Amino acid sequence: MAPTILITGASSGLGAEMARQFAARGYDLALAARRTERLEELADEIRAAHPERRVALRALDVTDHAAVFRVFGELRDELGRLDRVVVNAGLGKGAKLGTGRFDANLETAMTNFVGALAQTEAAMEVFRAQEAGHLVMVSSMSAMRGMPSSMTTYAATKAGVAHLAEGLRTELHGTRLQKRIKVTVLYPGYIRSEMNDKVDQHTPLMSSTEKGVAAMVAAIEKEVADACVPPLPWAAMAPVMKHAPLGVLKKLI
């Protein structure tokens, strides 16, 4: 029986490319996102390339918390089990604090952190029942340090979800489930996607979608605890971002 993977935010960008690459690696897919027409197009593309793959689809807004639990359960039932869950759905919008755009920052916080919490809870209910599974949390290199301006709330949510996953890993450490339930945190840098469409697309730090996601998929398959992806330049950049003086940091970002 083929392994199964659930990916949220799968209608575009990193989520859609992960679906393509995991299908090529022999996975059956559970794909969830708000834009169902894009999900259908992606599913048709994957089935054409890999007719043997099962692809289960559900509409999902991760801020509808009851729907998160229902959809995860339905996808598990349809595919028989969920071996991996990638918590990927998120927003990149935001505004400088105190400029009258609390609405944008609240939407980002509710989607990226509270929505991720709901997904983690739902995934762990499945994994605890199975006594096996692999939770993958998609954070961001911006989680390494508080970010300025419109990035402030986004970066805070990505630091929050990283700590959520790390706390779960700490809880499982030393228990009988440690080897059966794995937790991975990914810290993507600039990877070409809708999320990064406002970043200079010609910056030497920008990776293509295919290359960036290939690095993410490789880290997931290895079940590493955490990974900056792609490794070059982001693994080297991580300690600089964490510890550089603020003046240096602002020049870097």
pLDDT of residue 198: 55
Catalytic hit among 27, 154, 187, 190 = 154
Residue 235, pLDDT > 70, answer yes
Q: How confident is the model at residue 252 (pLDDT cuts 50, 70, 90)?
A: confident
Q: Which CATH class is domain 4-252?
A: alpha beta
Place of tokens 């998160």: 68
Residue 151, pLDDT > 90, answer yes
Can you give the pTM of this predicted structure?
0.94
Residue 201, pLDDT > 70, answer no
pLDDT of residue 206: 87
Domain residue ranges of the chain, discontinuous segments joined by +: 4-252
Report residue 48: phi and psi, to 5°: -65, -40
- Beta strand pairing status for 55-59 and 133-138? unpaired
Residue 202, pLDDT > 80, answer no
pLDDT of residue 196: 54
Average pLDDT, the chain: 94
- The 10 Å Cβ neighbour count of residue 198 is 10
Q: Does residue 154 carry a catalytic annotation?
A: yes
In angstroms, rounded to a whole number, what is the distance separating the alpha carbons of residues 66 and 99?
A: 32
